[in-house]
């Protein structure tokens, strides 16, 4: 309620000219409208990340090679400017308006007619709606902005893992640092110490499970991308919600995995895109956290 508090002071300056009524910002759906519109534009940027981050993934040699790769991945997102993958024609701003341009262009490149997959407007719409939902449910607070950035990272990670079975450092590493930094903000539900411990804990638990599976069953069940995503989830959620995300994701993963075996579309050796399950579970916990957490605490109290 901090935003409301500094408007309360206005009534004390009775002799002065009435200033602008700042509460108007709270009473009209300005924040929600901005969240949707900016969410659509950032959703368009999420498409660029989904398309470009997996492309440049030949790891550099050496112990610090990952830093070079991280820089290369981050640079690939901003340069070169958006262009058609076939005819290389740069996409002008009016052909790059989220959803609208896809409809106006009838899902084709203006220059060469290459079809634009429906995934592009779908990701934009979904991303815009996720930001709108956060704005409506959690209101205009600093934490809501952090949650929006988190949801963007989750969406990019879960789509890339589904398509390419990898989770780029360019999202997980800056994401973890961002979530740790956000734990210092006022209104954060997770204090910095817990954020650090849950990030380290998530990473180490995943690394341990991966080692266990490699030793016992000779299977690479969890890649290092999954360990880093667990660190991001821990840093953002703290330990209790991290455990809840892991519980939901592994239950869903087991159901889908066993379903695939029953349908003979996979076997016990096939690798599930666990990052996709983690991403979906994290969104579920972000939106329905209190409700789920109540049920989850009930499980352990009996
Ligand atoms: Zn083209």
- CB contact at 8 A, 155 and 123: yes
Average pLDDT, the chain: 86
How crowded is residue 62: how many other Cβ atoms within 10 Å of its Cβ?
9
Cβ-contact 122, 13 below 8 angstroms:
no
Residue 260 confidence (pLDDT): 82
Cα(69) to ligand 1 centroid in Å equals: 29
User: Mean per-residue pLDDT for 273-302?
Assistant: 84
Q: pLDDT tens, 155-174?
A: 999 999 999 989 999 999 99
Ligand 1 center–CA 95 separation, angstroms: 12
DSSP track, 41-87? HHHHHHHHHHHHTTTS--PPSSTTHHHHHHHHHHHHHHSSPPB-TTT
Q: How far is the CA of 287 from the centre of ligand 1 (A)?
A: 39
pLDDT tens-place string over residues 44-73: 999 999 999 987 567 788 888 888 888 888
* CA 57 / ligand 1 centre spacing (Å): 25
pTM above 0.95, yes or no: no
> Is residue 232 within 8 Å of residue 172, measured between CB atoms?
yes
- Distance (angstroms) between ligand 1 centre and the Cα of 89 equals 6
Q: Which of 13, 35, 11, 40 is nearest to 23 (CA)?
A: 11
Cα 108 to averaged position of ligand 1 atoms, centre (Å): 8
| Domain edges within the chain | 21-140, 176-302
pLDDT the model gives residue 38: 96
How much distance in Å is there from the Cα of 101 to the middle of ligand 1?
A: 14
Question: Which residues are close to ligand 1, an ion, with C-beta < 5 A?
Answer: 84, 86-87, 109, 111-112, 114
For residue 110, report the distance from its CA to the centre of ligand 1, in Å: 7
Ligand 1 center from residue 88 Cα (angstroms): 6
CA 96 to centroid of ligand 1, rounded, Å: 13
* Percentages of the chain per state (helix, strand, coil), in multiples of 5: 70, 0, 30
Rounded to the nearest angstrom, the distance between the alpha carbon of 116 and the centre of ligand 1 is: 9
* Band of pLDDT at residue 27, cut at 50, 70 and 90: low
What separation in Å is there between the alpha carbon of 49 and the centre of ligand 1?
Answer: 19
CA of 41 to the centre of ligand 1 (A): 22
Q: Measured in angstroms, how far is the CA atom of residue 43 from the centroid of ligand 1? A: 21
- Token pair belonging to 9: 């002071």
**Within a 13 Å sphere around the CA of 189, how many CA atoms are in the beta-carbon half?**
16
CA–centroid distance, 106 to ligand 1, in Å, is 13
pLDDT at 239 over 50: yes
Q: Give 79 Cα–ligand 1 centroid separation in angstroms.
A: 18
Interval between CA 114 and ligand 1 midpoint (Å) = 5
Dump strand ranges (E) for the chain.
none
Q: What is the mean pLDDT of residues 215-228?
A: 85
Q: What are the tens digits of pLDDT across the range 101-112?
A: 999 999 999 999
């Amino acid at each position: 309620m901090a935003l409301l508090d500094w408007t309360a002071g206005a009534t004390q300056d009775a002799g002065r000219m009435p200033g602008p009524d700042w509460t108007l910002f709270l009473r009209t759906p300005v924040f929600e409208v901005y969240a949707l519109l900016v969410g659509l534009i950032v959703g368009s940027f999420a498409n660029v990340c989904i398309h470009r981050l997996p492309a440049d993934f030949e790891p550099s040699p050496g112990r610090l090679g990952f830093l070079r790769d991280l820089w290369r991945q981050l640079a690939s997102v901003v340069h070169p400017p958006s262009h058609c993958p076939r005819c290389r024609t740069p996409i002008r701003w009016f052909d790059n308006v989220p959803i609208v341009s896809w409809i106006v262009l009838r899902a084709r490149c203006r220059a060469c007619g290459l079809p634009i997959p429906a995934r592009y407007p779908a990701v934009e719409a979904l991303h815009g709606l996720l930001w709108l939902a956060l704005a409506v449910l959690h209101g205009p607070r600093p934490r809501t902005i952090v949650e929006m950035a988190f949801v963007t990272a989750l969406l990019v990670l879960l789509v890339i893992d589904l398509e390419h079975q990898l989770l780029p450092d360019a999202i997980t590493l800056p994401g973890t640092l961002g979530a740790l930094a956000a734990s210092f903000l006022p209104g954060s539900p997770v204090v910095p110490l817990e954020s650090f411990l849950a990030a380290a804990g998530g990473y180490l638990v995943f690394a341990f499970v991966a080692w266990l599976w490699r030793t016992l069953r000779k299977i690479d069940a969890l890649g290092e991308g999954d360990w880093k995503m667990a660190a991001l989830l821990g840093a953002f959620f703290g330990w209790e919600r991290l455990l809840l995300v892991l519980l939901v994701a592994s239950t869903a993963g087991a159901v889908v995995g066993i379903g695939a075996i029953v349908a003979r579309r996979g076997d016990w050796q096939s690798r599930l895109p666990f990052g996709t399950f983690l991403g979906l579970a994290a969104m579920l916990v972000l939106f329905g956290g209190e409700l789920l957490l109540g049920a989850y605490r009930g499980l352990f109290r009996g």
